[in-house]
Amino acid sequence: MNKKKMMLWMLTFVAPLLVFAQQTTLYPSDYLTPEFHAGRRAAFKEKLSKNGVGIFFASQVRVRNNDVDFQYSQSKNFYYFTGLEEPNAVLLLFKQPVTILDKTGTEFIFVQNRDPQRELWTGKILGAEGVQEKYKIANVFTNDKFSASTINFSSIDSVFTAYKNEDIFYTYKKSVDPLTRMATIVDSAIAASNKPVAGRSLQGILSGLRGIKQPEEIALISKAAAMSCEGHNDVMRAIKPGMTEYQAQAIMEYHFKKNGSEYPGYPSIVGAAENACVLHYVTNLKLMNDGDLLLSDCAAEYHGYTADVTRTVPANGKFSPEQKIIYELVLKAQDAGIAACKPGAPFASVDAAARAVVNKGLVELGIVKTEAEARKYFPHGTSHHLGLDVHDMGPRTLDPGVVLTVEPGIYIPPGSNCDKKWWSIGVRIEDDILITPTGNQNLSASSPRTVADIEKMAKQKSIFETK
C-alpha cells in the first residue's frame, strides 16, 4: 500500500474509530469536587445553633404519565452539600458530634441500596460504598437503616430543614417510597419532640452561602453562559421570515447540547411579535412574518448551574424605526442597570437605575403620560440571583461573588393605549453579571447587544444554512 492510499485508509477507517473511542470512553471531568461539597457542609455547620441539626432530603421521583417518570432533577440544596444526583436519600448535618448506628461524627447520609434489577433498566446505583468512595462522606448508610431512633431530638435545640416546602410526601406509584418513609419519620419525630423548625434562619444561611459563588461555581456558570451565547448568536444568523418559533428554539438548544449542557436551564421562551409581550411564553409554535421581532429567553444548564440570557432580534435581520427606538431604550436601561452593579450596593439599586431610564423614555415617546403608568409596560423586576436555580438564593447586597441577571424589558401588546405603531413590540435584553471586588463582569458578553452588532451578525451564515 503506497503512502497516499495509506493516508486515505487512515482517514476513511481509522480516524472515525478514534473519534468514536473518544466519544464513548471519555466523560466530563469538571464537576464540582468532593472537597467543594465538604467545604460547603463545613460552612453550613458553622452557622448552626449550638445543638442544631440540618436535614436535607433528595428530590422525589415523579411520574410523568402511566409508567414513565419525569427526568430526575436533584434538590438543589441537597446537591450543593453532596454532589449526589440519586433519589431516596437524606443528609444530616450536626453542629456537635453525635453517634448514629455506632458511628460518631457531624455528617451522616442515608442513600439507596444497590439493586441489580433496577440498574439493568436505569443505570448504576452507587450504594453506600460507592457514595463514600465518590463523595468522601465518612458516615454513609443505606436508607433502610433510617428509623425513628436515628435522630435523638432530646439534645437538639433547633431543626434547620425545608422539607415541608419541598412537596416530598407525594405517594409515588401508589406506594410509599423510601424518601417519603424517611420524611414521615422526621416529621413525626419533630412533632413529638416539639422542637422548633428554624425555617427562616435556614433560608438566611442558605442565601448567604449559595448567593456568594465560589470560583468553581463561577466557572460552571461561565460555561453555561458561553453555551447560551453560542445558541443566541446562531439564531441571529439563521432567523428569517417563514421560520417558526420552535425552529429557532431547536437551533438554540442544539448548541446547548452540542457543548455538553445536560438540560436547558428552564423552559425556552421563544416568542415572535405579540408573543414577545407574554413574559413567560413557552408555546413556541408561531410562524414568523417579515417585520416581526423575536424575543428568545433561553439558556443552558451545565453540571447543575444555569445561565439566563435573553436577546431580541428582527426576523428579517433589520430593525424597523419603531423597533429600534424601543430596543435602544431597553439597551440604555440595561446599561444603566449594569453600571449600578457595584460591590456593596443594595440589590434593589439595579432595578431602580434601569426603571428610571424606561419610565422617562416611555413618557418622552408619548407611550405613557406619567412615569407611574410605565410599569404596565415593564411589569417585572430587573434582576434576580442566578446559580443552581435560575431564580437563585442570594443576599440583599451586591457582595463580590454574587451573580445576578440584568434584564429590563418593554412589552406593548396589541390593543395597548398608545399609538398602534408601537403595538406587538416586545423587547427584553438580559445578561448574567458577576460582582467582583472592583466592579462587575458580564459573563454573557459574547452575544451582541447593540442594534448595529445584531444586524451585522444577522448577515453571517448559520451552521444550519445549506446555501
The catalytic position among 30, 118, 133, 280 is: 280
The CA radius of gyration of the chain, in Å to the nearest whole number, is: 26
Is residue 303 part of the annotated active site? The answer reads no
> One of 177, 245, 297, 392 is an active-site residue; which one?
297
Residue 420: CA count within 13 A, CB half-sphere: 0
Burial readout 364-399 (b: 16 or more C-beta within 10 A, e: otherwise): ebebbeeeeebeebbeeebbbbbbbbbebbbbeebb
Q: Phi/psi of residue 410, each to 5°?
A: -135, 130
Cell numbers for 183, please give them.
Answer: 420524611
Q: Which of 118, 114, 98 is nearest to 106 (CA)?
A: 98
The C-alpha cell at 384 is: 434576580
Q: What is the 3-state secondary structure (H, E, C) of 90-124?
A: EEEEEEEEEEECCEEEEEEEEECCCCHHHHHHHCC
Strands of 33-89 (E only): list them: 53-57, 63-65, 68-69
- 428 carries an active-site annotation: yes
Cα 2 versus chain centre, distance: 55
Q: Is 384 designated active site?
A: yes
Using alpha carbons only, what angle is made at residue 159 by residues 153 and 164, rounded to the nearest 5 degrees? 115
Catalytic hit among 85, 355, 411, 449: 411
Distance of alpha carbon 269 from alpha carbon 240, whole angstroms: 18
Catalytic site includes residue 255: no
Task: For residue 120, give the C-alpha cell.
Answer: 439493568
**DSSP helix/strand/coil, 302:** strand
- Active-site annotation holder among 107, 253, 301, 407: 407
Q: Hunting for cell 432530646 — which residue is that?
A: 154
User: Strands 159-161 and 53-57, how do they pair?
Assistant: parallel
Active site residue 119: no
- The maximal CA–CA distance of the chain, rounded, in angstroms, is 85
Is residue 429 within 8 Å of 312, Cβ to Cβ?
Answer: yes
Of 392, 430, 431, 432, the catalytic one is: 430
Q: Which of 64, 67, 102, 200 is catalytic?
A: 67
The helix, strand and coil proportions of the chain, stated in percent and rounded to the nearest 5, come to 40, 20, 40
Nearest CA-CA partner of 279 in 375, 374, 380: 380
- Select which of 62, 263, 380, 399 is catalytic: 380
Please tell me which residue in 391, 396, 453, 465 is annotated as part of the active site: 391
3-state secondary structure of 426: strand
Q: Is 46 a catalytic residue?
A: no
Q: Where are the alpha helices (DSSP H) in 239-305?
A: 245-258
Half-sphere exposure of 65 (CA within 13 A, CB side): 0
The whole-angstrom separation of Cα 287 and Cα 285 is 7
Q: Which of 232, 255, 385, 428 is catalytic?
A: 428
Active-site position among 384, 389, 399, 455:
384
Q: How far apart are CA 128 and CA 35, in angstroms?
A: 19
**CA nearest to 408, candidates 358, 444, 361, 340:** 358
Look up 37 and say whether it is catalytic: no
State yes or no: is 385 an active-site residue: no
Q: From the candidates 86, 230, 308, 392, give the one annotated as an active-site residue.
A: 308
Q: Is 430 a catalytic residue?
A: yes
Active site residue ranges = 67, 280, 297, 308, 380, 384, 391, 407, 411, 428, 430
